[in-house]
Amino acid sequence: MSYAAAPVPVRLPIWRARFVLFAFVSAFAVLLGRSLWLQAVQTGFLQERGEARYSRVLEVPATRGRILDRRGDALAISTPVKSIWAIPEDLKATAAQLRQLGQLLGVEPRELERRLTGTSRDFVYLKRQIPPETAARVAELGIPGLYQQREFRRYYPGGETMAHVVGFTGVDDIGQEGIELAFQASLAGASGSRRVIKDRLGHVVEDIEAIRAAQDGKDLRLALDSKLQSLAFTALKHAVETHKAKGGALVALDTRTGEVLALANVPSYNPNNRARLTGAQLRNRVITDLFEPGSTLKPFTVALALDLGQVTPETVIQTAPGRLTIARHTIHDAHAGGAMSVAQVIQKSSNVGAAKIALSLPREEMRENFRRVGFGAPPQLGFPGEAAGKVREARTWRPIEQATMAYGHGISVSLIQLARAYTAFARDGELLPLSLVRTDMPVAGRQVLSAETARAMRAMLEAATQPGGTAPRARVMGWRVAGKTGTAHKLENGGYASHKYIASFVGFAPASDPRLVIAVMIDEPSAGQYYGGAVAAPVFAQVMQGALRLMNVPHDAPLTPIELPGEGEEAREST
């Protein structure tokens, strides 16, 4: 009979037990310390990382301010639209879904695939600014990884009529041209933001809080009268088409407030559809284009001579034999007139008479006179691309240049500068500051001519529109009109083009108490007629008549029909 051996008790070294205990205590201490570190020190970081998985900050777009005309009619408004974007790595769509998506967005499926696979970005726009109803049909496709963003798109009710004044915004609703660009800061406002919770599919499940409220843009009320603007644009467009001209421009100013009531350019464009927009269509000829003003500058030469006491309206100037030679250059009149009074020099638009008056004046005074009435400096409208024009230093003038500058050669101006300068004649010698924004209140001008000189010039300019003057076609039934024609050869390749002209007319009415100044310029009329009196003056008359009726300006002349001169009967200004 055998017996099993009794187990021998094993005694472990005491240090091993203590080591295990120490290891457990140390591990617990590390875990405790880590827990305290994470919960006490790293709380913000952990919360941020956790919220990043479900919390999102969404931009809340501000509504862009409206642009209104002086009567409150909308010229630019914002309409809600949607933009479709995707996270390429999350987007899961079948070939059929991509075809449907492409049809809705107007994008070829191959182009969609290229945008989604040919980029390393985690965000890509598929289509910007689509109608909300189209966006709703896109959402019905239920494509994972495809998202929508609320935006605004500008709509311009006035279309091409208002295009050069209002301008337009780009796809990001930022002003690109015109008033939209000039007043971008106040129109745009400031976007806001909100914190939301999204599920794993990107759907908003809870709106938590507003971080920053959106500040909508401010509405802007312009001085522009949309009715007058429409009339001006229609008349100008008809004249450009009739005379087969390259383009045209017109601006109308209020002589009491300096407000720009109409500003029209042809050719124009539709700001709601800019797919085929060209540079020629974008040009705001009223403000950015410079040209030699021709005979419309003669009144300023005569006004300076009157102010300096060199002449009176009755002073006789000998213009025979209708030409004046200075060095190797000869100045011509359209018709030899013999002895003329200063008033007749303006009425008949004599180059020889104007040149002789100019040569009697100090060059420095003549240049300073041009500068005083605003030539050579931007009109300070705050409009993009304002041209300053050019008036050379008087010390560089040769006698022939001083003579020709008297009738608008050798100096460049914009149409709005020319119109503004004529406010000095309409306001007893005060030059008005101009405004694109409605002001309502009369403004104070800067005295640039004596009141007596301005009144004398008004009488001479009124005679220019009467039978025997160069602009009888500028007359308006029921109101007395004053103004001056201009016809100048265009500069080309460093010289004057023999068969290319700028035809212009600047005037105001009623002559007894001027209320409006209107300037018209027709670029390269090529249908046979090219004199300012035949091409530009009728546009002035049509727009001025409509404007005075719209403004209910009292009549200062009989309401009898005006007999227009026949072909070739009116006097022609020299070029």
Residues 159 and 166: their CA atoms lie apart, in Å, by: 10
Residues 315 and 310: their CA atoms lie apart, in Å, by: 9
Whole-Å CA distances, 85 to 105, 126, 323 = 11, 5, 73
Local structure of 294: helix, strand or coil: helix
Residues 341 and 399: their CA atoms lie apart, in Å, by: 23
Helices 363-372 and 298-307, interaxial angle, to 10°?
110
If one counts every other C-beta atom within 10 angstroms of the C-beta of residue 13, the result is 8
**Which two tokens mark 563?**
């007999």
Based on the residue annotation, tell me whether 295 is a catalytic residue of this protein.
Answer: yes
Residues in the chain: 575
Local structure of 540: helix, strand or coil: helix
- Distance from the first to the final alpha carbon of the chain: 150
- Radius of gyration over alpha carbons of the chain, in Å? 37
Residues 369 and 299: their CA atoms lie apart, in Å, by: 12
Q: Choose among 64, 58, 124: nearest CA to 91.
A: 124
Q: Are 79 and 153 in contact (CB under 8 A)?
A: yes
Q: Choose among 431, 451, 315: nearest CA to 380.
A: 431
Task: Write out 72-134 in H/E/C secondary structure.
Answer: CCEEEEEEEEEEEEECCCCCCCCHHHHHHHHHHHCCCHHHHHHHHHCCCCCCEEEEEEECHHH
For tokens 């002559």, name the residue. 511
Question: Which DSSP string do the residues of 237-285 spell out, in sequence order?
Answer: HHHHHHTT-SEEEEEEEETTT-BEEEEEEES---TT--TT--HHHH--H
- Which ranges constitute the DSSP H helices of 361-411? 363-372, 399-405
Q: Choose among 539, 503, 505, 537: nearest CA to 246.
A: 503
Residues 20 and 36: their CA atoms lie apart, in Å, by: 24
Assess whether the previous peptide bond of 554 is cis (omega < 30° from 0): no
**Which two tokens mark 80?**
């809600």
Catalytic residue among 78, 226, 268, 295: 295
Residue 15 makes CB contacts below 8 A (sequence gap 6+) with: none
**Which two tokens mark 71?**
């009567």
Which one-letter DSSP state was computed for residue 383? -
**Which two tokens mark 431?**
């030059």
Residues 435 and 425: their CA atoms lie apart, in Å, by: 19
Query: Which positions are annotated as active-site residues?
Result: 295
